[in-house]
Amino acid sequence: MVLSQGELLKVLEPLRENSKIVFTNGCFDLLHAGHAHYLKKAKELGDLLVVGLNSDESVRRIKGRRRPILPQSLRAYLLDSLKPVDYVVIFEEDTPEKLIKAVRPHVLVKGADWEVEKIVGADFVLSYGGEVRRVEFEFDLSTSKIIDRILELYRDAER
């Protein structure tokens, strides 16, 4: 379900006591098998998986003017369609720090390429007894690698 932050907090509040809330975030621009694996593993760490999705403007600031490839409405729809994902919330900031503080997840998840000390919100989640977990990648994939591969194939076809 794609919700605003206010709607999400209202839904989560009565569930918080009996459900372990897991939070992760990202751009999820071109959804691929690496994303699916990551989200599946994140969901296995609790009962409800909340995905914070960078807004289009946030993605542009982080990744450059040519990104995102897909607009936030389609990225949110795709994420919401995935079995492990319970809630999707779009955030405008460059980091999910404010959202993490509002959601107060039991578990904060990022990819294993992030050191715990560099995970935004980790100190906050640990401060109230929450967990910070890192998920190993199963596939060597990224949206940037997919874009590079498409461009390479296009250049080869032009020759």
Nearest to 108 by CA among 81, 76, 132: 132
Return the pLDDT at 157.
87
* CB under 8 A, 24+ apart: contacts of 14-17: 15/48, 16/104
Q: By the 8 A CB rule, do 50 and 103 touch?
A: yes
Tens of pLDDT, residues 19-47: 999 999 999 999 999 999 999 999 999 99
Return the pLDDT at 158.
86
Q: Say yes or no to pLDDT of 4 above 90.
A: yes
Q: Say yes or no to pLDDT of 159 above 90.
A: no
Q: How far is CA 65 from CA 53, 59, 155, in A?
A: 18, 9, 22
Residue-wise DSSP of 51-67: EEEE-HHHHHHHH-TT-
Band of pLDDT at residue 152, cut at 50, 70 and 90: very high
Tens of pLDDT, residues 91-143: 999 999 999 999 999 999 999 999 999 999 999 999 999 999 999 999 999 99
- Residues 19, 47: Cα–Cα separation, whole Å: 6
- Residues 39, 45: Cα–Cα separation, whole Å: 10
Tell me the domains of the chain and their CATH numbers.
5-158 (3.40.50.620)
Q: Say yes or no to pLDDT of 10 above 90.
A: yes
- Residues 82, 86: Cα–Cα separation, whole Å: 9
- Residues 126, 108: Cα–Cα separation, whole Å: 9
Q: How many CB atoms lie within 10 A of CB 86?
A: 21
Return the pLDDT at 70.
97
Q: Say what the pTM is.
A: 0.95
Rounded mean pLDDT of 67-75? 97
Q: By the 8 A CB rule, do 21 and 103 touch?
A: yes
